[in-house]
Amino acid sequence: GLMAKHYEVVVVECDTRICRVYPYRPIESATGRGGTDFRPPLKPDFLKAQQPDVIVYFTDGDGPAPTEPPTVPVVWAITENGKKPVPWGTEIALSEPEIGANVLNFGTNRGVLRFWRHMV
């Protein structure tokens, strides 16, 4: 949500294939869930059609990926206990949201998604 306030964000829902592509909106449900193949959304033809400035891939990192990086910078947002699928790209690690009365600027029903960059 915060990123979409400042940039045009396109969501690509994919598992072993690209399922849906649409401008960002709050996600209520997602298609897929049948394994992961990182290659379809990183193919040159797809990237040429979408013309992204950067790709942020939210994943546990389990699945086949291209051996060579695309021409667009890739950020791997890796879930807890996940792993970066390839040596290229920048990795950030996601953690579970912190929820509670002691979380700065948030009430008991909201959380904060924390992430940090790992040096690669």
pLDDT, one tens digit per residue, over 43-101 is: 999 999 999 999 999 899 999 999 999 999 999 999 888 999 999 999 998 876 555 55
The CA distance from 18 to 8, in Å, is 20
Q: 61 near 94, Cβ under 8 Å? A: no
Give the helix/strand (H/E) hosting 12. Answer: strand 10-14
The DSSP annotation for 69-112 comes to: --SS-EEEEEPTT---SSSSSEEEEE-PPEESTTSTT--TT-EE
pLDDT band at 10, cuts 50/70/90? confident
pLDDT, one tens digit per residue, over 32-54 is: 566 889 999 999 999 999 999 99
